[in-house]
Amino acid sequence: MFEQENKGMNWDLLYNYMVFSKCGKMRKAASMLNISVSTLSRRMEKLESDLNMSLFRRNANGIAFTEEGYRLAEYCKLLDGSIAEISQAMRLTENNIRKVVRCSIVADIARYLIIPHLNEFYQNNPNILMEMDTSMQLVDLANEDWDLAVRFSRPERGALIVKRLGSTRIGLYRHQEMPFDPNKSVPFIGWHKKDADFLPNVLARQIENYTEVLRVSDFSEVILAMKDKVGIGFMPDYVAKQFPQFEYVDLPGTYRDVDIWMVVREASAKAPHVKQFMAFLNHLFSDFN
C-alpha cells in the first residue's frame, strides 16, 4: 500500500525502523540506538502516521509486523546495503585522493636529508604527494601558494608558524688525496654571481691566501669539482658526512654555525597532510639540536 507518494519522509525515522526491523525487538533496537523504548515507540508511531499505514500489530506477545511492515523491512535491507556501498565507495575515494604538500626547500637539505628518507614518509602516508621547489629563489610564503619552507633564514613577517629544526656547521672541506699546504696559495672553488653577504663568500674572505680556480652556480658542481680534487670548498657538515673522502680544513674563521628553520603558512598548518609532513621533519631533524 505504497500508492501514496511520501516526499517528506523522515530519514531518521526510517533509520530507526531499519534498526528495529533488523533487531526484531523494541528494547534491543532502542539500546542500539541509545534511546529509550518509549522514545523508539513514539517514533514508530510517527512513521506509521507519516506513511499512513500500519506497520505493527500489538498483542499480548509483543509486536508483530504487518504485511506492510515486512515489505518496508525488505526495502530497508536494500537501503542498508546501498548505504554500506556508498560508505565503502566514499572511503575508497578518500583513500585515492592525493593531498599535495607544496614546499620550498634548500636544495642540499632536500637532496641529502629529506629525499633519502621520503620512502619512509610515503609508507606511512601513501596518499600525500610532495611538490618541492629547490631553486635558489626564496619564496614568499605569506603571499605565494606554498605550504611550507625549510631554509637557513628566519622570516621577519607574515602569518607564519616558525620553528627552529636544528643547526648545521658550514665549513671548509677538501678531498683527502688533494695536496694541501696552508702556507701556500690554496686552490678554492668559488661562486659565480653571488651577493657579497652570501655565506661562502663571507667565509672565503677569512682565507689569507687562496687562488680561485673555479666559479660555480650550483652546489652540486662544488661536490663534483671536489671529488676531482680541483680545489677546496664550503659545505654543510651533513653533506660532508655523505662523502668519506672529504675532510675538514681547519683554518681560522672559516666556519659558521647556521640554524635550519621550518616555516609554515598558518592556513596550511591546519591541514592534516601538512601536519604529517611537519611531524616527519621534526623527527628527521631531532638529532640536529
Break the chain into its structural domains and give their ranges: 11-95, 98-289
Q: Which amino acid, residue 284?
A: L
Distance CA 237, CA 207 (A): 19
CATH architecture of 11-95: Orthogonal Bundle (1.10)
Helix then strand count (H, E) for the chain reads 11, 11
Give yes or no for residue 195 having a pLDDT over 80.
Answer: no
Q: Give the range with max mean pLDDT: 73-77, 116-120, 199-203.
A: 116-120
Segment 11-35 shows an average pLDDT of: 86
Mean pLDDT of the chain: 85
Task: Name the pLDDT band for 285 (thresholds 50, 70, 90).
Answer: very high
The confidence score (pLDDT) of residue 1 equals 37
How much is the pLDDT for 143? 61
Q: What is the pLDDT of residues 223-259, one digit of tens each?
A: 999 999 999 999 999 999 999 999 999 988 999 999 9
**Cα–Cα dist 180/182, whole Å:** 6
pLDDT band at 3 (very low <50, low <70, confident <90, very high): very low
Q: What is the pLDDT of residue 84?
A: 66
**H helices of the chain, where?**
11-23, 26-33, 37-51, 67-96, 107-109, 118-124, 199-204, 219-227, 237-240, 266-269, 272-284
pLDDT band at 266 (very low <50, low <70, confident <90, very high): confident
CATH number listed for the domain at residues 98-289: 3.40.190.290
Q: What is the mean pLDDT of residues 77-105?
A: 72
- Please, which pLDDT band fits residue 289 given cuts at 50, 70 and 90? low
> What pLDDT is stored for residue 142 in this prediction?
64
pTM (2 decimals)? 0.64
State the average pLDDT over residues 152-160. 81
What is the pLDDT at residue 95?
55
